[in-house]
A and B are shown apart, each in its own frame.
Chain A
Amino acid sequence: MASCIHRIEVRYRSDPRLSTRTGRIRSLGFPVQALHLVDVYTIATHSRDFSHEVLSKIAAQLINPVVQEYTIDRPTDFTPFDTAIEVGFLPGVTDNTGMTAKQTIEDYLKIRFLEGEAVFSSRLFFISGDLDPGMLEKFVQSLANPLIHRVHVKSRQEYGKSGMDHVTPFVSLHELPTAEIVNLDLTDADLARLGKEGIMDPVSGLRRGPLALDLAQLHTIREYFRSKGRSPTDVEIESLAQTWSEHCKHTIFASAMDHDVPEGLYKTCIKAATNRIREERGEHDICVSVFSDNSGAIAFDERHLVTHKVETHNSPSALDPFGGALTGIVGVNRDTIGFGLGAKPCINVYGYCVGDPDTEPLLFRGKNRQNPILSPRRILEGVVQGVGVGGNCSGIPTPQGWCYFHERYMGKPLVFAGTVGVLPRTSGGRMLHEKRALPGDHIVMVGGRVGKDGIHGATFSSEALDPASPVTAVQIGDPITQKKFSDVIVKEARDLCLYHSITDNGAGGLSCSVAEMAKECNGCHVFLDKVPLKYPGMAPWEIWISESQERMTLAVPEESLDALMDLMQRRDVEATVIGRFTDTGRCVVECHGHIVMDIELDFLHDGLPKKHLVTTPIIPNFPEPDTACPERLNDLLLSMLGRKNICSKEFIATQYDHTVQGGHVLGPIQGIGRVQASATLTKVVPGSAKGVGLSQAIFPSYSELDPYRMAIAGIDAAIRGLIAIGIPLDAIALLDNFCWCSSDEPSRLWQLKRAAFGCYDGATAFGTPFISGKDSMFNDFSGFDENNNPVKISVPPTLLISSIGIHPDVEKAVSMDAKMEGDHVYVVGRATPGLGGSEYFMHLGSIGNTVPALDIHHAKEIYQRMTGAIMNELVASAFPVAHGGLLIALAKVSIAGNLGMEVSLPEGIRPDYYLFSESPGRFIVTVSHENRDAFERMLGKDAHHFGRVGGSMLKVIAGRTLVDLPVDQMEAAYKAPFRRY
């Protein structure tokens, strides 16, 4: 253990962050008068001590003397203050700042820190203000997350002249690094318990955490090992649990369902749709690699492919929103780097479903008010920051995203993170979307080291009670470590042909990545004792399934091993040979000379027993609203513009770098009035006229009413977003992300089946193939309220449809903002009945029952004509009607252009229903007077002319004046809700 400990405390002489921060804290209700921030570096060594002189030089490396000053082993003094609060990390949590400080010291002094030596970063908050103990505790909670942070609080008196204490959060483990034999000759009850609670740890006598293996699976495993005449090791059981998990095998989507889906929903609805579309398209098929790799890929041009993949990271984000979202986005970046032989991540996308940030639900994971959930606002701010840091630090633009609020996300938020990649079709004579590990190739692990991170996911293992044990439930990403290997792999090693295959280490860690690649050559032999660890003392099974971030696994042939290792070393990227790929048909794992796993690959990958799922239909019957249409809709429109699912969330867009890589064409915010667009367009190949358009759509409020139409609405809106910017239908592909709840209940499975049928019908009718997808089936919160009553909150069944399309000529792209006085305003497409699940009905407090339908074949014709109009440059602006309906779309087009409009409605309609109907298939389009005739000829009866652009008011007339609002006033209402974020 470190015996020499020094503290360097750094502060700004005049801290520019303070006024914003103090204002924010006060806005949260804390009566803080003054706030000061100090950054702390705790340097802990045992092999050497640093003199005060050397420490001064080190400090000079860590600060900017122009604006900062430091103290060494002497407490910073801010007089007066009332309380000092220090927030640092718990043992085992990634400390990027500490790591950078350590590297800086090593580089400066040309020394190496040894095992058990480190630099730890922490932050000290000095506050003065009249906070009572309860308020202070709440304030401390707002600064730290008990799952990852350690907090030390001192009053002014306690702080005195000695300041804060020295804390060095080293990990200390006392485990026996051997594999244990697991006895499966148990009663069914004990076997079930093994599956639910995990293997009994022989040292602690406690269960290790859920395997999530059911009885049928455990019987199959027992039979397998009986036939081999031996008992399994813990490594084997843990490995099977990972490989057979819902997360890896998607059992619910793969299993037979009822009598009409014997092949399972995935094959029947998703894959079959793509196969049928590809067949029908023949040589015009845009798909290149679908469902088989880490991402899906379509053709970009004759020389390039683009990939896309969207993932979710829901449970980790519920516990630690920042870390969960950060590891979510950098994780899906690796699905890009791990596509084919490596694609360059070029666009990030995001989507967040959270509870209402203005509420503070009192819910607890444990009884007796233990382990409270985080408030929706904390979750929102954390996930926003996490995805931002991930993309910003990695140099990947994040233009595309959305945020959706519903009370049923309060217990379990959904965090979607996606990445588009670009890669040449060929390099060095190889097709880059194909890869194959060969027998004899070295297994090389590249990137970060392995710790106990993420083992058994978000479970609270008993170890968490020991203060020196590492945090395992949540993890903080290290985007710079990943950026380093991303650059060397995608920009150097790939094109030097230094490896045969690559995949990322995500869920299940090495156990899944190596075993997955082993399929390519039919075998592997791994030496776990070669795997570099963050700290000593890990058991073999932990090393094998650890989900430590920022790692890739490569298959490297003997002849290029030296070149690869040399390159990695020069780029300061850790790379380690941990075994060999073989052709034995077996996955063999060895540790210190003992075989700890030896299972046939066939059994590992295909041995799990099949299931047959049964569904039960549900017929919704919700109250219909019974309010009359108001005389004037001004107030209604302003309230609707301020609804959280409609209003501006620009604060997210501007803190995400959306211009890096130099391809910005249509960004997240458009027009002089700065309105959030529904699609973005980015150039990904310099010099090409083409661009990648992205859009996304979700309608969770439709799912309890009509999951089939919910899916159709999502597909349509995601496609329509791209049509509006000028991307032709036949250049569009889709991705599906199902985030369901309680997927062991037949009625939820019925909703799932209906939504999946909607996916098949929607995709095939539009001719837009699915190229990638993911599902997360149990998004339920189970806990307690403040009075110990059990509470279960399930997310509304949520289907995110993401679209990707190739724009043929970005100079012809169309933005959403109204452009010029005098332009004509059209609504393109026709409304269908029903406002069930609409924002308007939710505003009225009863969601109704009828979700609007869509005639896809007619919509398809309209979209093709819209593309024609845009390609002929007849359209000045186009915007899809979505959440909030027609009037909201009109208002947004008007605000974005900072131009008024005057429109007249057709006769015989109920105005509020007409104006707030979200029926799919429609656009608001503005057209110059010069192009009016040509546009009308092209669109025919599907374009309804209903007004002109002009003035500074939005006026809507239907016999009487329904709306007359200044654009400024609408803009203020649209931007008000998140103005303080």
Chain B
Amino acid sequence: MNPRIPERMGDTGTGNDGATGLIREKALIMSGYGINSEMETGVALLRAGMESDIVHINDLIAGKQQLSEYRLLVFPGGFSYGDDTGAGNAFANRVRNNIWDDLLEFMEGDNLVLGICNGFQILANLGLIPAFDKTYTRDIALMPNTKGVLECRFVTLKPANETLWTKGISYLYCPVSHGEGNFSCSETMLRHLEENHMIAFTYCRDDMSPAGGEYPHNPNGSVADIAAITSLDGKVLGMMPHPERAMEFVNLYDWPKRKEELKRAGKPLPSGSVNMQLFRNIVRYFGE
């Protein structure tokens, strides 16, 4: 078993819970057709200081709600259309076939887009990520996990580049829970991603050394241990793991052990978790 790295012991990330006030910019969290993590994603953003509206895609299509009123668009986790025809594919088609122009307009502005798990799969199918140009072609795929079944477990993530999303993060520790998260692309594409510093997080071992493709540290077989990438302009982040599901200390897989360690060292328990920083970075981006 790998020893815990020292900085994880001293982690005292605290919950914001809106204590320092909310920023003016709002997030739109997409819902419908089997998306299912919209509520906890909203809670995570609120804890970091950003309000959001959960909006059903059909209300956007019907023009009852406007994307242009928001600065952050989130495609949260879920099982849209039950992963039929490929995870995220059917929902991406629904977006492309109905609200594509609104989305392109949104992308033109100084706005951010976040896709988590099923949301990442949707972004990839829409070509919003990695988006080397404005043709938005599909360049990457999230294929079925090599084990062939859904994998739900905590993973350790290491930031691979300095991006607006990874600022101040030394690691994340949060669950994956997906059947199709096996990041795949051509070697040329991988080189482009690396050269343009677009890999945001990679799967690693507890001691922060690379997972090296080894299960379960790399839970799905992703090439180069890729867990998250950004778009070329850095404003879109797609990630398979779920930081929004482990925002509190007690959400972490190993918290009972860490609690004993902290208690016996005479240290207080943190209320929040490291994973909060990702959402704080969004708030900071708009706040700056």
Residues of chain A having any CB pair with chain B under 8 Å: 12, 16-17, 19-21, 61-68, 96-97, 99-101, 103-104, 107-108, 121, 388-389, 392-395, 478-480, 483-484, 487, 570-572, 653-667, 670-673, 683, 686-687, 810-811, 813-815, 817, 819-820, 873, 876-877, 897-898, 928, 930
Contacts and interface: CB of A to CB of B under 8 A. Distances in A.
A479 B33 contact: no
Interface string B84-111: 1110011001100110000000000000
A66 B82 contact: no
B36 interface: yes
B89 A62 contact: yes
A687 to B, nearest CB: 8
Nearest to B88: A64
Interface in B219-269: 221, 242, 244-251, 253-257, 259-261, 263-264, 269
A108 B85 CA distance: 14
Contact of A66 (B33, B44, B141): B141
Interface string B103-124: 0000000000000000000000
Contact of B244 (A97, A662, A665, A671): A662
A64 B175 contact: no
B146 A659 contact: no
Contact of B141 (A64, A664, A813, A814): A64
A479 B84 CA distance: 12
Contacts of B144: 16-17
A814 B93 CA distance: 46
A431 B248 CA distance: 31
Contact of B59 (A392, A570, A662, A667): A570
A659 B152 contact: yes
Nearest to B140: A66
A16 B79 contact: no
Given A395-B34, A487-B31, A928-B260, 17 more contacts: A63-B86, A103-B90, A108-B93, A392-B79, A395-B78, A480-B34, A483-B34, A572-B58, A654-B152, A658-B152, A660-B37, A661-B37, A666-B256, A683-B250, A811-B250, A811-B259, A817-B256
B251 A395 contact: no
Given A17-B148, A671-B257, A104 B93 contact: yes
A153 to B, nearest CB: 23
A657 B34 CA distance: 15
A846 B152 CA distance: 39
B93 A61 contact: yes
A659 B177 contact: yes
Which of the listed residues A96, A395, A484, A487 has the most CB atoms from chain B within 10 Å of its own CB? A395
B257 A66 contact: no
A657 B77 CA distance: 12
A16 B32 CA distance: 29
B79 A659 contact: no
A97 B85 contact: yes
Interface string B202-230: 00000000000000000001000000000
A484 B33 contact: yes
A571 B152 contact: no
A661 B39 contact: yes
B148 A657 contact: no
Nearest to A478: B82
B182 interface: yes
A920 B33 CA distance: 47
Q: Which of B77, B94, B249, B260 has the most CB of A within 10 A?
A: B260
B77 A660 contact: yes
Contact of B177 (A12, A657, A873): A657
Contacts of B83: 393
A439 B59 CA distance: 33
Among A64, A100, A655, A687, chain B packs the most CB atoms within 10 A around the CB of A64
Given A660-B177, A664-B175, A928 B257 contact: no
A107 B146 contact: no
Contacts of A653: 152
B19 interface: no
A657 B150 contact: yes
A663 B246 CA distance: 8
Nearest to A492: B56
B256 A570 contact: no
5 contacts: A480-B33, A659-B246, A660-B37, A665-B251, A813-B256
B54 to A, nearest CB: 8
A865 to B, nearest CB: 21
A100 B261 CA distance: 50
A62 B242 CA distance: 27
A662 B149 contact: no
B153 interface: yes
Nearest to B87: A64
A660 B90 contact: no
A815 B143 contact: no
B145 A16 contact: yes
Interface residues of B, number: 75
Nearest to B17: A687
Contacts of A61: 85, 89, 93
Interface string B41-69: 00110000000000010110010100000
B23 interface: no
Contacts of A478: 82
A65 B138 contact: yes
A395 B150 contact: no
Given A571-B56, A660-B77, A811-B250, A100 B82 contact: yes
A144 B20 CA distance: 58
Contacts of A100: 81-82, 84-85, 90
A786 B78 CA distance: 47
Contacts of A394: 36, 79
- Kindly name the residue among A17, A657, A817 whose own CB sees the greatest number of chain B CB atoms within 10 A: A657
A65 B125 CA distance: 9
Contact of B242 (A68, A659, A813): A659
B146 A16 contact: yes
Contacts of B36: 394-395, 483, 660
A659 B245 contact: yes
B177 A819 contact: no
A19 B151 CA distance: 17
B40 interface: yes
Contacts of B253: 667
Nearest to B256: A815
A393 B148 CA distance: 16
Given A66-B184, A97-B84, A107-B97, A655 B146 contact: no
Contacts of A21: 148
Contacts of A395: 34, 36-37, 78-79
A810 B248 CA distance: 11
Given A480-B82, A570-B58, A64 B89 contact: yes
A484 B249 CA distance: 32
Contacts of A928: 260, 264
Nearest to A23: B148
Contacts of A67: 141, 143, 184
A107 B98 contact: yes
B94 A107 contact: yes
A571 B32 CA distance: 7
A819 B221 contact: no
Contact of A820 (B33, B59, B98, B260): B260
Nearest to A809: B250
Contacts of A107: 93-94, 97-98
Contacts of A99: 84
B245 A662 contact: yes
B24 interface: no
A810 B40 contact: no
A664 B85 contact: no
Nearest to A385: B149
Contacts of A877: 256
A820 B264 contact: yes
A353 B147 CA distance: 25
Contacts of A12: 143
Contacts of A483: 34, 36, 79
A817 B82 CA distance: 36
